[in-house]
Structure 1
Amino acid sequence: MPPLSTFRAPNTPFSSTSLPTLTPPSLLKTWWVTTSTLPMWKSAKNIRITYTAIPSTQDIDDIIHYNPRSSPPATGSTPEEAAKIVTKSIHGTDYPLSDNPGDLTYKWRGRGILFIATSRWQVVGYGGRDVRAVTSESGEEVLEGVEWVVTYFEKSLFTPAGVDVMTVAKEGVNEETLGAIGEGLKGIGGVLGELWDGIFDIPRD
């Protein structure tokens, strides 16, 4: 597995590691979903998830933007093509299911017409080339250098169980790192290893 990485089985703590603990403030940014096993993403491209803190709570605002794969390229299109680009969004709120900030397990509930939709997800892996903890202006510890995270979604009424690999960079991780992430999940075994066999790339243009 990548030298600066850690993985865990769902609903278990991360094992002791020299890697600093990933906490919610470290997630608060925009991530690109670059690979996935979730069928809902097979018709999507340019998937970006933005996590934002909701003031005075531990909850997280969660908004996904994506384009149908049939849309013209998001960059380099002619004005006529650009007018045909369709951007869709899914808006929800993530509610922490643990008081432990390093647990990173959430219940997602949709907003608007998706209010009846819920799912449970958690971070099961993360890493980068230069991961280190720093203290932010607010006094919270934030990890710098985290290049990717792996999220696991339990089966819900609307979707099967699945995993996403999300990266800070639009281009994603290189093939060697992606292969190592797969080895890390297969090393955990169980549902994560089984799901990885169905992994596919998400186009980004």
Structure 2
Amino acid sequence: MDSQLTIGLPKVYVSKENKCVPPTNEFIAGTWHVTHSTLPMWKDKRNVNITYKILPADSNGVVKIDDLVSYQGVKSEKVQTVNGIDTPSPGNQGAWDWRGKGWLMIASSHWECLGFGHTDDGNQWVVTYFAKTLFTPAGIDIYSRKKEGVHQDVVDEIVKGLKGFEVKEVTDLADGLFQVVQN
């Protein structure tokens, strides 16, 4: 039986098996600010945002998500974008397979929700895990609806929750979280 657990301030939705109860597509839709990450590619970037747009079901009834990442270099005003499509990963609720659009069609990755919820001040957050690809190591991101992110005590509770998964890779990654500049 899945249930809502309260770990400190954030409301976390996980199952007894420590698997994320998948957020609804409606929860995922919209713009998220990447406020914390372990991915080295974000260390010299700022204003990293991901906008998810739910697409109509295809002929097989599969609902995919348009995935637009935008960011700036720390010392640049130019906004860069990466666009792709997220397809639900068969047999793994709360997980998606990303495929790039255009010249990035050759690139793909797998990501999944490790947790999501809201804080007492009404902010929403999501923790995602990205599997290793040819171009990037495995990593974890914390997203927030608010550009300023969640309070540090909430981040601390999220990290504590990640370590509670007792999966060495996740625990190791959680120890390497850094703040992504949002301005």
**How would you bin the TM-score normalised by the shorter chain?**
0.7 to 0.9
Q: Whole-Å Cα distance in 2 between the matches of residues 95 and 119 of structure 1?
A: 11
Tell me how far 1:14 sits from its aligned partner.
3.6
Give the alignment's Cα RMSD to 1 decimal. 2.3
User: Does 2:52 correspond to 1:6?
Assistant: no
Number of paired residues? Answer: 171
Aligned to 1:138: none
The correspondence of residues 62-77 of structure 1 with structure 2, limited to 5 A, is: 62-71=67-76
Percent identical:
39
Aligned to 1:18: none
Q: Whole-Å Cα distance in 2 between the matches of residues 67 and 7 of structure 1?
A: 33
User: Does 2:136 correspond to 1:167?
Assistant: no
Aligned to 2:46: 45
Aligned to 2:181: 203
- Which residue among 99, 104, 109 is the counterpart of 1:119? 109
The amino acid that maps onto 1:96 is P
- Which residue among 84, 88, 91 is the counterpart of 2:83? 91
Q: Would the alpha carbon gap of residues 200 and 129 (structure 1) be closer, same or farther in structure 2, given more than 3 Å must change?
A: closer
Tell me how far 1:197 sits from its aligned partner.
1.1
Aligned to 2:37: 36
| TM-score after normalising by structure 2 | 0.85
Q: Whole-Å Cα distance in 2 between the matches of residues 109 and 26 of structure 1?
A: 21
Aligned to 1:128: 118
The amino acid that maps onto 2:175 is D
Tell me how far 1:129 sits from its aligned partner.
3.0
* Stretches of structure 2 lacking an aligned partner (at least 5 in a row): 1-6
Q: Which moved more, 1:121-130 or 1:91-100?
A: 91-100
| TM-score after normalising by structure 1 | 0.77
Aligned to 1:157, what secondary structure does the other structure show?
A: coil
CA contact (8 A) 1:8 1:188 kept: no
CA contact (8 A) 1:152 1:161 kept: yes
Tell me how far 1:70 sits from its aligned partner.
1.2
CA contact (8 A) 1:24 1:104 kept: no
Aligned to 1:189: 166
Aligned to 2:100: 110
CA contact (8 A) 2:45 2:74 kept: yes
The amino acid that maps onto 1:56 is A
CA contact (8 A) 2:123 2:150 kept: no
Larger CA Rg, structure 1 vs 2: 1
Q: Would the alpha carbon gap of residues 6 and 55 (structure 1) be closer, same or farther in structure 2, given more than 3 Å must change?
A: closer
Q: Would the alpha carbon gap of residues 172 and 8 (structure 1) be closer, same or farther in structure 2, given more than 3 Å must change?
A: farther
Tell me how far 1:98 sits from its aligned partner.
3.3
Aligned to 1:179: 156
Tell me how far 1:158 sits from its aligned partner.
1.1
Q: Whole-Å Cα distance in 1 between the matches of residues 14 and 172 of structure 2?
A: 15
